[in-house]
Structure 1
Amino acid sequence: MSEHYFAPAPGAAHRPGSVDLVLPDVHLRLDTDSGVFSPGKVDLGTRVLLESVPAPPASGRLLDLGCGYGPVALALASRAPGAQVLGVDVNGRAVDLAAHNARTAGLDNAAFLRIDADGSAADPGAPAAGSEQGPFDALWSNPPIRIGKTALHALLTTWLARLSPGASAHLVVQRNLGADSLHRWLNEQGWPTERAASRAGYRVLRADRP
């Protein structure tokens, strides 16, 4: 799975499935498939993020960076029905699943877009193309740590810059996969960062746009 989920076009044979995202305020059944991140269950880091962060802004534009099949973006859309949510991912199979899951859940305030590594729309003709430029009033992400530190830093540099002044990003990162070093790097890059939560080996980092 890990060698496929950040590929633009996963080569894994399709193995459709479904998972339940059950939170105190959100209950969604999400269709999944092979070749996407954590197809067999909602990833623990994602759960830690969704159970730890404060409520999103009630309106404005919200971003899920690395949306997978959509659990974070659709939780945002459920919690903030007056906001417009954009989920982005390099993985076309994941983006298609996320859009399908939004339609199934009746969450028409969520849109999804496949992006290239540089953060631009992979399909300039897609309905959401152009909206990836922001600005965004909040960013939530279980970022793809396994793409490597250089690529991860480039990804975060691109997308954090698209936050509105004063907006916050909440990122969940496993402690033994570099959460503390990422915390230091964010501060060094001029993004004031604090540990907002810590649970089950994960850190939730809050980085603020000055």
Structure 2
Amino acid sequence: MNASSSTRASARHADRRAHAADGEQYFNAAPTSADVRRTLTVTLRGREQRVQVSNGVFSGNRVDLGTSVLLRGAPEPPETGRFLDVGCGWGPITLALAEASPNAQVVAVDVNERALELTSANAKANGCGNVTVLAADAVPSDLTFDLIWSNPPIRIGKDALHELLMTWLPRLNAGGGAYLVVQKNLGADSLIPWLDETLGDDFTVSKYASSKGYRIIEVLRR
């Protein structure tokens, strides 16, 4: 096996392990699995934090590889503004943004009720008072954002993923940017031109970075 094949195999294995630990789909609104809380110590963009995780949410036992790639590879967020984490899970991206930019407002959204509970609890436990946690359908329609970070739920299917992205990316303010981490073998390279065409002339879309079989996609609004 060559190095490229080994990287792809490792990424596939990591992606499988990142699903809800009990096999339940992590994008269910109301998980039916037992809510078994566990405490982990994780490092998010160089900051050590203690968090609660559980069954029935995305990567419910660690920081998954794609999120790690995003947290290591995305540029430093602005000091102020309104930020969005789409598909927050138990909150690693939310916590990283809140800690990096304590004067910014960080909005965390998910469809999974347990994920929202965990993100809220983890933000409070780590002193992140600048975090607002909302169900995706509870976000005011006129709320816009200066920065979006996301490890989007690719497993919901292409059509649903496209709908999800076109719900949130057009909410970027002028001069704002989004950073999405997507596994290469799950369509990252085809997603870039689709976003570029669909979002239109007010946006530029490009590959920002690559690592461990993942792409970080940059979306900038003029």
Question: TM-score with structure 1 length normalisation?
Answer: 0.90
Deviation string, structure 1 residues 169-203 (Cα, Å, up to 9, x no partner) = 00000111111111121111124111111000000
**Residue matched to 1:70:** 91
Secondary structure of the corresponding residue to residue 36 of structure 1: coil
Deviation at 1:111, TM superposition (A): 1.2
Between the aligned partners of 2:58 and 2:146, the Cα distance in structure 1 is 25
Q: C-alpha distance in 2, partners of 1:145/1:48? A: 16
* Match of residue 63 from structure 2: 42
Tell me whether 21-30 or 47-56 shows the greater mean CA deviation.
Answer: 21-30
Which residue of 6, 24, 33 maps to 1:12? 33
CA distance in 2, matches of 1:177, 1:103: 34
Greater alpha carbon shift after TM alignment, 177-186 vs 19-28:
19-28
Q: Which of the residues 193, 201, 204 maps onto 2:213?
A: 201
Mapped contact 1:172–1:204 kept (Cα < 8 A): yes
Correspondence for 1:160: 169
- Which amino acid in 1 is paired with 2:57? V
Give the AA of the match of 1:41: R
Kindly report which structure 2 residues correspond to 1:50-69, keeping only aligned pairs within 5 A, or say none. Answer: 50-69=71-90
Matched length: 198
Look up the match of 1:125.
none
Q: CA RMSD in A?
A: 1.4
User: How has the CA–CA distance of structure 1 residues 10 and 133 changed in structure 2, closer, same or farther, with 3 Å as cutoff?
Assistant: farther
Does the Cα contact within 8 Å between 2:57 and 2:114 map onto a contact in 1? yes
Q: Judge conservation of contact 2:45–2:96 (CA < 8 Å) in 1.
A: no
**Aligned 1:28-177 pairs, distance under 5 A:** 28-115=49-136, 120-121=137-138, 130=140, 133-177=142-186
Unpaired runs of 5+ residues, structure 2, are 1-19
Percent identity, aligned pairs only, is: 49
TM-score of the superposed pair, with normalisation by structure 2: 0.85
Q: Which amino acid aligns with 2:53?
A: T
> 1:168–1:209: 8 Å Cα contact kept in structure 2?
yes
**1:66–1:144 contact (8 Å) kept in structure 2:** yes
Going by fraction, where is helix more abundant, 1 or 2?
Answer: 2
Amino acid at match of 2:205: T
Aligned partners of 1:208, 1:186: CA distance in 2, in Å? 11
Alpha-carbon distance between aligned partners in 2 of 1:133 and 1:20, rounded to the nearest angstrom: 36
